[in-house]
Amino acid sequence: MRTELLQNPVFAMAAAQFDQVADFLELNDELRERCKWPKRLITVTVPVRHDDGSTKVYFAHRVQHHLTRGPVKGGLRYHPKVELGEVAALAMWMNWKCALMDLPFGGGKGGINCDPRTLSQGELERITRRFTMEITPFIGEDIDVMAPDMGTNEQTMAWIVDTYATRAGRLVPGIVTGKPLNLQGSAGRTRATGHGVAFLASRALNKLGVQIEGATAIIQGFGNVGSYAARTLASYGVKITGISDVSGAVWNAGGLDLDELTKHVASTGSVVGFAGADAIDPQEMLTQPCDILAPAATDMAINRENAPMLKCRVLAEGANGPTTTEADQIISDRGDIFLIPDILCNAGGVTVSYFEWVQNLQRFQWTEREVLTRLETMLEATFNRVLHFAETNKLPQRTAAQSLAIKTVADVKSQRGLFP
């Protein structure tokens, strides 16, 4: 299984990052093994009847990296490229993210190998409900709490809650987070990840002495993370000059009108063809001059081809694993880009998911202001902690963030000891 996982490039990247940090922390071989490998790798098949009467079997994975510090927490994605190795990598990063933010969770991730864009709402509902039935023996509000990710949203979470409730005979709102507000979701959850990305990008510009008002930003991805990052940045007075999605990219040096772009995407399904902008090649867009570049779509978007050509001051990693190991090295050697690593930069989502879970357990609702204020306080404290650790130990920000997180997990594993 070790070899199989390492054959996946995303897992190989997460494992290489882990090894580098484990060397820095001088973890002994036993602890290194216990921290690195996932506790549970679960694969289920999901048979689903399609609208045309045919039946198709989908493969779904859920990886629970560790339960050492609490239940696992992490998203569920629907995407045609979902593979066990990639899901395991994302679970490992979630583990470090929860530890870095000091949330009482381990990391988990799930995915169903399907293309949601080709499926009807009815088919998506049946896939979700059947997957929930198959995975029910392995989840619970004190075991594994899922949330939306690529290709899933609050409607997906509502179907999971309903299916789980039907089985349990009672509503268990804490079974997932990212739920609709009137189904005990949290105020601020939908915007939390993108808002956090924008907030931290503004803190980074502040550290660099760059004025935020009038700064420019380019965003890859206009889904949940990208669109809310764009909105919060625009509210700070940042001009969003380029935005891409899976179909193409648009550019306006004077700043894109986000309200109009949102309407265009709602009616056409893509940013392509937006009248208030020019078309631009999505790869070329990434290397245009800007203050903030936020990859908020897929993994490995910043690679050895484009890393030498980046012209941003801040690289704000909205997506998980958007920068390859080679690109990381190039960026570190260049020394002119302030990188906010994914496990910090996009931690707003899991942090507000934690708030949602706490509200569900307490049967109590917080206001959006309370949620966003608590979120910003926690993100700023962690940002400063990572920066201080990086400066003191002369480390890249990613290694600093992962070192703090992995040390937390390794310490707890040592304290708990090994059973039996």
Interface residues toward ligand NAD, by CB under 6 A: 148-151, 193, 220-226, 244-246, 282, 296-298, 318-320, 346, 349
Residue identified by tokens 């893509």 is 270
Q: At closest approach, how far in Å is the CB of 32 from ligand NAD?
A: 26
**323-330: Cβ within 8 A, 24+ apart:** 323/295, 324/13, 324/300, 325/13, 325/16, 325/17, 327/302, 327/303, 328/396, 328/398, 330/304
Structure tokens at 58: 């989908």
Under a CB-based contact definition with an 8 Å cutoff, are residues 39 and 419 in contact?
no
As beta bridge partners, residue 220 has 244, 295
Q: Kindly tell me which of 185 and 221 has the beta carbon lying closer to ligand NAD.
A: 221
Question: What is the number of residues in the chain?
Answer: 420
Chain centroid to CA 377: 19
The distance of closest approach from Cβ of residue 148 to ligand NAD in the complex, given in angstroms and rounded to an integer, is 6
Residue 109 among the catalytic residues: yes
Shortest spacing between CB 214 and ligand NAD, in angstroms: 26
Q: Which is nearer to ligand NAD, 107 or 226 (CB)?
A: 226
**What count of other Cβ atoms lies within 10 Å of the Cβ of residue 409?**
23
Question: For residue 396, is the peptide bond before it cis, meaning its omega torsion is within 30 degrees of 0?
Answer: no
The closest of 389, 344, 406 to 23, measured between CA atoms, is: 406
| Shortest distance (Å) from residue 86 CB to ligand NAD | 10
Which is it for the CA torsion 288, 268, 128, 70, positive or negative? positive
Quick count: other Cβ atoms within 10 Å of Cβ 38? 25
Shortest distance (Å) from residue 399 CB to ligand NAD: 20
Measured from the CB atom, the residue of 226 and 410 that comes closer to ligand NAD is: 226
Helix (H, G, I), strand (E, B) or coil at 176: strand
Query: What is the nearest approach in angstroms of ligand NAD to the Cβ of residue 419?
Result: 32
Q: How far, in Å, are 59, 215, 277, 352 from residue 331 at the CA level?
A: 37, 21, 30, 30
Residue 394 CB, shortest distance to ligand NAD, in Å, is 28
Lateral strand order in the sheet of 144-148: 40-49, 55-64, 106-113, 72-79, 144-148
158 vs 319, which CB is nearer to ligand NAD? 319
Minimum Å gap between C-beta 174 and ligand NAD is: 17
Q: Decide whether 298 or 408 has the Cβ nearer to ligand NAD.
A: 298
Q: Which residue sits closest to ligand NAD, CB atoms considered? A: 223
CA 92 to chain centre: 12
3-state SS class at 242: strand
Q: What are the DSSP E strand ranges found in 160-287?
A: 216-220, 239-245, 248-251, 278-280
Counting beta carbons within 10 angstroms of the beta carbon of residue 1, is it exposed (0 to 12), middle (13 to 18) or buried (19 or more)?
exposed
**Other CB atoms within 10 Å distance of the CB of residue 31:** 18
- State which residue, 222 or 355, has the beta carbon closest to ligand NAD: 222
Taking the least distance from each CB to ligand NAD, the nearer of 35 and 243 is: 243
In the complex with ligand NAD, which residue's Cβ is closer, 136 or 306?
306
Reading the block at residue 78, the tokens are 């629907």
One of 36, 73, 109, 239 is an active-site residue; which one? 109
- State the catalytic residues: 109
